[in-house]
Amino acid sequence: MTSIPVMINGLPGNVAQIMASAAIRDERLTLVPFSLTGEIIDDPSVTVDGQKITLLKPSIRDSRIGHILEAYPDLIVVDYTHPTAVNANAEFYTEHRIPFVMGTTGGDRDALEAVVNLADTPAVIAPNMAKQIVGLQAMFEYAAKTFPGLFKDYTLEVKESHQQGKADTSGTAKALVSCLNDLGLGFDVNDIQQIRDPKVQEKEWGIPKEHLGGHGWHTYTLRADDGSSLFEFTHNINGRDIYVSGTFDAVVFLDKKRREDDDGKRLYTMIDVMTQPG
């Protein structure tokens, strides 16, 4: 199997560094020595596991992408940048006909999907790339379709804790709230409680100190209006390694899709990735 050239965008960010390091070790992939970064980043390059990667700001990326695509014509992008960059980056990828995996949450998701659906190349977009979390989300979606209104006489409380630098509300929490609302709840995603204070995370939540800089803890509490019952669902992730496998499975999925006969579909989710034949 010929290795797939992959460009990890978002360096020198922590998640992007984990992805780049893993890509170097993955025999299916070839890490492209360039990464899109933010305009405020001063460093011209970053070194990951001994490999130098040139950082490209928005102001110069248009002048460089042509040469990169000439050198790596089968390029696939993995985006772990910033919520404020999601839509502009997606437009950049589709304009240059680059398949991409959008691991970054936030941005205007409706506009993001619209851009992909009008594009010439496919993309995988998901609020969470961890396959176990995606499986959990699929179970909730099944329940919502099979048992609509099951929790109509319940109220919902949602709390999510992430590292202090996370700028947006958890996309995973929003996705699961959507399913829970189909089960009869009327919860507003703006009422999701965001916990970003490391002191609160460590002392009140019990999050290990070594994972305060990278974690995703979620709790969904459903209470019957008459006080007779309570259901609580929790999923806690320490670190970011869990996202690697799903992300790279999505890269391989896109590489396969672009080599198949064009069926006109452009937008895929992690559920598509996980349920693909073979």
Q: Which residues are catalytic, by number? A: 162, 166
Tokens of 263: 């069926």
What are the tokens at 227? 């006080």
For residues 55 and 45, give the distance between their C-alpha atoms in angstroms, rounded to a whole number. Answer: 5
Q: Is the peptide bond before 12 cis (omega within 30 degrees of 0)?
A: yes
156-170 as b/e, with b when 16 or more CB fall inside 10 Å? bebbbbbbeebebbb
Residue 29: its H or E element: strand 29-31
* Four-residue CA torsion sign, 77, 83, 84, 88: positive
d(C-alpha 58, C-alpha 30), whole Å: 23
Question: What would the DSSP string read from start to end of 104-169?
Answer: ---S-HHHHHHHHHTSSS-EEE-S---HHHHHHHHHHHHHHHHSTTTTTTEEEEEEEEE-TT--S-
Identify the residue whose tokens are 């999907």: 113
Which is it for strands 100-102 and 123-125: parallel, antiparallel or unpaired?
Answer: parallel
Distance CA 129, CA 15 (A): 12
What's the count of helices (H) and strands (E) in the chain, helices before strands?
9, 13
- The distance of Cα 102 from the centroid of its chain, to the nearest Å, equals 6
